[in-house]
Structure 1
Amino acid sequence: MNQATTMFIICLLIPLAVLLAASVLAARSSEDREKSTPFECGFDPKNTARIPFSMRFFLLAIIFIVFDIEIVLLMPVPTMLMTSYSSHIILTYTLFIIVLIVGLIHEWNEGSLDWSM
Protein backbone atom coordinates (compact mmCIF):
# COMPACT_ATOMS: atom_id res chain seq x y z
CA MET A 1 0.00 0.00 0.00
CA ASN A 2 1.51 3.30 -0.95
CA GLN A 3 1.61 6.43 1.17
CA ALA A 4 -1.13 8.29 -0.74
CA THR A 5 -3.63 5.47 -0.19
CA THR A 6 -2.78 5.32 3.50
CA MET A 7 -3.24 9.07 3.89
CA PHE A 8 -6.55 8.88 1.99
CA ILE A 9 -7.85 6.19 4.33
CA ILE A 10 -6.73 8.15 7.40
CA CYS A 11 -8.39 11.30 6.03
CA LEU A 12 -11.63 9.38 5.66
CA LEU A 13 -11.50 7.60 9.02
CA ILE A 14 -10.86 10.65 11.24
CA PRO A 15 -13.93 12.66 10.08
CA LEU A 16 -16.09 9.53 10.24
CA ALA A 17 -14.96 8.92 13.82
CA VAL A 18 -15.73 12.53 14.76
CA LEU A 19 -19.19 12.32 13.12
CA LEU A 20 -19.91 9.06 14.91
CA ALA A 21 -18.86 10.51 18.28
CA ALA A 22 -20.96 13.62 17.65
CA SER A 23 -24.04 11.60 16.77
CA VAL A 24 -23.64 9.42 19.87
CA LEU A 25 -23.27 12.47 22.11
CA ALA A 26 -26.18 14.29 20.45
CA ALA A 27 -28.50 11.31 20.82
CA ARG A 28 -27.64 11.07 24.48
CA SER A 29 -28.32 14.72 25.25
CA SER A 30 -31.55 14.98 23.24
CA GLU A 31 -33.27 12.51 25.57
CA ASP A 32 -33.10 14.89 28.53
CA ARG A 33 -36.26 17.01 28.63
CA GLU A 34 -34.75 19.74 30.81
CA LYS A 35 -31.94 20.33 28.37
CA SER A 36 -34.33 20.72 25.44
CA THR A 37 -36.30 23.55 27.08
CA PRO A 38 -35.02 26.99 26.07
CA PHE A 39 -33.63 29.38 28.62
CA GLU A 40 -33.01 32.88 27.38
CA CYS A 41 -32.28 35.39 30.12
CA GLY A 42 -35.35 34.48 32.15
CA PHE A 43 -38.12 35.39 29.68
CA ASP A 44 -40.55 33.00 28.05
CA PRO A 45 -39.62 32.41 24.39
CA LYS A 46 -43.10 31.15 23.54
CA ASN A 47 -44.55 34.67 23.59
CA THR A 48 -44.16 37.15 20.75
CA ALA A 49 -40.82 37.14 19.08
CA ARG A 50 -41.05 40.80 18.07
CA ILE A 51 -40.53 42.43 21.43
CA PRO A 52 -38.66 45.73 21.34
CA PHE A 53 -35.03 45.72 22.39
CA SER A 54 -32.87 48.49 23.70
CA MET A 55 -31.28 50.57 20.97
CA ARG A 56 -28.56 51.58 23.45
CA PHE A 57 -27.59 47.93 23.83
CA PHE A 58 -27.42 47.56 20.04
CA LEU A 59 -25.19 50.66 19.72
CA LEU A 60 -22.98 49.42 22.53
CA ALA A 61 -22.58 46.05 20.77
CA ILE A 62 -21.69 47.77 17.49
CA ILE A 63 -19.13 50.01 19.23
CA PHE A 64 -17.65 46.94 20.92
CA ILE A 65 -17.26 45.16 17.58
CA VAL A 66 -15.68 48.22 15.95
CA PHE A 67 -13.16 48.61 18.77
CA ASP A 68 -12.34 44.90 18.60
CA ILE A 69 -11.56 45.24 14.89
CA GLU A 70 -9.43 48.30 15.64
CA ILE A 71 -7.44 46.35 18.22
CA VAL A 72 -6.84 43.57 15.72
CA LEU A 73 -5.59 46.13 13.20
CA LEU A 74 -3.26 47.69 15.77
CA MET A 75 -1.69 44.45 17.04
CA PRO A 76 0.91 43.94 14.26
CA VAL A 77 2.23 47.53 14.48
CA PRO A 78 4.93 46.90 17.16
CA THR A 79 6.24 43.94 15.17
CA MET A 80 6.32 46.01 11.99
CA LEU A 81 8.21 48.76 13.81
CA MET A 82 10.73 46.25 15.15
CA THR A 83 11.42 44.70 11.75
CA SER A 84 11.56 47.85 9.63
CA TYR A 85 11.64 51.29 11.13
CA SER A 86 10.31 53.40 8.28
CA SER A 87 8.54 56.74 8.33
CA HIS A 88 5.72 55.30 6.21
CA ILE A 89 4.71 52.88 8.99
CA ILE A 90 4.92 55.56 11.66
CA LEU A 91 2.83 58.01 9.57
CA THR A 92 0.16 55.39 8.84
CA TYR A 93 0.03 54.32 12.49
CA THR A 94 -0.23 57.95 13.66
CA LEU A 95 -3.05 58.75 11.21
CA PHE A 96 -4.92 55.61 12.27
CA ILE A 97 -4.61 56.56 15.96
CA ILE A 98 -5.82 60.11 15.18
CA VAL A 99 -8.89 58.71 13.38
CA LEU A 100 -9.60 56.44 16.38
CA ILE A 101 -9.30 59.32 18.84
CA VAL A 102 -11.58 61.56 16.75
CA GLY A 103 -14.14 58.72 16.57
CA LEU A 104 -13.93 58.19 20.32
CA ILE A 105 -14.46 61.90 20.98
CA HIS A 106 -17.46 61.91 18.62
CA GLU A 107 -19.03 58.89 20.36
CA TRP A 108 -18.39 60.49 23.74
CA ASN A 109 -20.04 63.79 22.69
CA GLU A 110 -22.95 61.90 21.15
CA GLY A 111 -23.55 60.07 24.44
CA SER A 112 -23.03 56.56 23.13
CA LEU A 113 -20.54 55.80 25.90
CA ASP A 114 -22.83 56.95 28.73
CA TRP A 115 -24.02 53.72 30.36
CA SER A 116 -25.62 55.25 33.43
CA MET A 117 -29.14 55.24 31.94
Structure 2
Amino acid sequence: MSLPIEGSLNYLAVLILMIIAVVLSVVIIGLNKLTGRKPSEITRKKYDTYECGVGYEGSAHQQFSVRYYLIGIIFLLFDVEVVFMYPWTLAYQTYLKSGPVILLEMGLFFALLLGGYFYLRLRGALNWD
Protein backbone atom coordinates (compact mmCIF):
# COMPACT_ATOMS: atom_id res chain seq x y z
CA MET A 1 0.00 0.00 0.00
CA SER A 2 1.45 3.36 -0.98
CA LEU A 3 1.34 6.47 1.11
CA PRO A 4 -0.28 9.64 -0.26
CA ILE A 5 2.99 11.51 0.29
CA GLU A 6 4.82 9.41 -2.34
CA GLY A 7 2.65 10.74 -5.18
CA SER A 8 3.01 14.35 -4.05
CA LEU A 9 6.82 14.03 -4.01
CA ASN A 10 6.74 13.40 -7.76
CA TYR A 11 4.77 16.61 -8.26
CA LEU A 12 7.12 18.47 -5.93
CA ALA A 13 10.08 17.50 -8.12
CA VAL A 14 8.24 18.77 -11.22
CA LEU A 15 7.34 22.02 -9.42
CA ILE A 16 10.97 22.55 -8.35
CA LEU A 17 12.15 21.92 -11.91
CA MET A 18 9.64 24.42 -13.29
CA ILE A 19 10.73 27.05 -10.76
CA ILE A 20 14.38 26.50 -11.68
CA ALA A 21 13.54 26.82 -15.39
CA VAL A 22 11.64 30.08 -14.90
CA VAL A 23 14.30 31.61 -12.64
CA LEU A 24 17.11 30.59 -14.98
CA SER A 25 15.26 32.01 -18.00
CA VAL A 26 14.63 35.34 -16.25
CA VAL A 27 18.27 35.56 -15.12
CA ILE A 28 19.65 34.82 -18.60
CA ILE A 29 17.32 37.32 -20.30
CA GLY A 30 18.12 39.92 -17.63
CA LEU A 31 21.87 39.44 -18.08
CA ASN A 32 21.45 39.78 -21.83
CA LYS A 33 19.56 43.05 -21.41
CA LEU A 34 22.19 44.43 -19.03
CA THR A 35 25.32 43.38 -20.89
CA GLY A 36 24.10 43.23 -24.49
CA ARG A 37 25.18 45.91 -26.97
CA LYS A 38 22.57 48.04 -28.61
CA PRO A 39 22.88 48.72 -32.35
CA SER A 40 24.58 52.06 -32.87
CA GLU A 41 22.87 52.77 -36.15
CA ILE A 42 19.54 51.60 -37.50
CA THR A 43 19.16 51.81 -41.26
CA ARG A 44 16.75 50.44 -43.82
CA LYS A 45 19.46 48.15 -45.21
CA LYS A 46 19.80 46.47 -41.81
CA TYR A 47 16.29 45.02 -42.15
CA ASP A 48 16.66 44.05 -45.81
CA THR A 49 16.68 40.41 -46.90
CA TYR A 50 20.15 38.84 -46.96
CA GLU A 51 21.02 35.44 -48.40
CA CYS A 52 24.68 34.53 -48.67
CA GLY A 53 25.76 37.88 -50.00
CA VAL A 54 23.72 37.52 -53.20
CA GLY A 55 21.07 40.10 -53.89
CA TYR A 56 17.57 38.78 -54.36
CA GLU A 57 15.69 38.92 -57.63
CA GLY A 58 12.00 39.20 -58.22
CA SER A 59 9.21 38.35 -55.85
CA ALA A 60 9.37 35.70 -53.17
CA HIS A 61 5.81 34.71 -54.00
CA GLN A 62 6.08 31.90 -56.49
CA GLN A 63 3.56 29.19 -57.16
CA PHE A 64 4.40 25.56 -56.60
CA SER A 65 2.71 22.74 -58.39
CA VAL A 66 0.11 20.80 -56.43
CA ARG A 67 2.11 17.69 -57.33
CA TYR A 68 4.92 18.98 -55.11
CA TYR A 69 2.68 18.94 -52.05
CA LEU A 70 1.08 15.64 -53.05
CA ILE A 71 4.47 13.95 -53.31
CA GLY A 72 5.41 15.43 -49.92
CA ILE A 73 2.29 14.06 -48.24
CA ILE A 74 2.75 10.64 -49.84
CA PHE A 75 6.37 10.61 -48.64
CA LEU A 76 5.22 11.41 -45.10
CA LEU A 77 2.62 8.65 -45.21
CA PHE A 78 5.10 5.99 -46.28
CA ASP A 79 7.75 7.36 -43.91
CA VAL A 80 5.42 7.04 -40.94
CA GLU A 81 4.56 3.51 -42.02
CA VAL A 82 8.26 2.60 -41.92
CA VAL A 83 8.51 4.08 -38.41
CA PHE A 84 5.80 1.64 -37.31
CA MET A 85 7.95 -1.24 -38.53
CA TYR A 86 10.79 -0.46 -36.11
CA PRO A 87 8.98 -1.52 -32.89
CA TRP A 88 7.81 -4.64 -34.70
CA THR A 89 11.40 -5.66 -35.38
CA LEU A 90 12.23 -5.23 -31.70
CA ALA A 91 9.29 -7.37 -30.55
CA TYR A 92 9.64 -9.96 -33.32
CA GLN A 93 11.73 -12.55 -31.44
CA THR A 94 9.60 -12.34 -28.30
CA TYR A 95 6.23 -12.81 -29.97
CA LEU A 96 7.38 -15.35 -32.56
CA LYS A 97 7.62 -17.93 -29.76
CA SER A 98 3.89 -17.59 -29.08
CA GLY A 99 2.89 -18.31 -32.67
CA PRO A 100 2.96 -17.03 -36.24
CA VAL A 101 0.37 -14.30 -35.58
CA ILE A 102 3.04 -11.61 -35.61
CA LEU A 103 4.09 -12.68 -39.10
CA LEU A 104 0.49 -12.57 -40.31
CA GLU A 105 0.04 -9.08 -38.86
CA MET A 106 3.14 -7.76 -40.60
CA GLY A 107 2.14 -9.54 -43.80
CA LEU A 108 -1.20 -7.73 -43.71
CA PHE A 109 0.62 -4.47 -42.99
CA PHE A 110 2.93 -4.98 -45.99
CA ALA A 111 -0.04 -5.95 -48.18
CA LEU A 112 -1.82 -2.71 -47.27
CA LEU A 113 1.34 -0.70 -47.98
CA LEU A 114 1.88 -2.43 -51.28
CA GLY A 115 -1.79 -1.96 -52.20
CA GLY A 116 -1.51 1.76 -51.43
CA TYR A 117 1.66 2.01 -53.49
CA PHE A 118 0.11 0.30 -56.53
CA TYR A 119 -3.02 2.44 -56.20
CA LEU A 120 -0.88 5.59 -56.28
CA ARG A 121 1.10 4.26 -59.27
CA LEU A 122 -2.06 3.44 -61.22
CA ARG A 123 -3.60 6.84 -60.46
CA GLY A 124 -0.41 8.58 -61.63
CA ALA A 125 0.16 10.34 -58.30
CA LEU A 126 3.90 9.67 -58.41
CA ASN A 127 4.41 10.99 -61.96
CA TRP A 128 6.02 14.40 -61.90
CA ASP A 129 5.00 15.46 -65.43
**More deviation in 6-15 or 32-41?**
32-41
Q: Which has the higher contact order (CA 8 A, sep 6+)?
A: 2
Shift of 1:113: 1.9
What CA distance in whole angstroms lies between the structure 1 residues aligned with 2:27 and 2:57? 34
Unmatched segments (≥5 aa) in structure 2: 1-8
Q: Which amino acid aligns with 1:14?
A: A
Superposed, which structure 2 residues align to 1:51-90 within 5 Å? 52-85=63-96, 86-90=99-103
Distance 1:34 1:63, change over 3 A: farther
Superposed, which structure 2 residues align to 1:31-110 within 5 Å? 37=48, 44-45=59-60, 52-85=63-96, 86-110=99-123
RMSD: 3.7
Q: 1:18 aligns with which of 15, 25, 33?
A: 25
- Greater CA radius of gyration, 1 or 2? 2
Q: Which amino acid aligns with 2:81?
A: E
Q: Which amino acid aligns with 2:83?
A: V
Q: What SS is found at the alignment partner of 1:84?
A: helix
Unmatched segments (≥5 aa) in structure 1: none
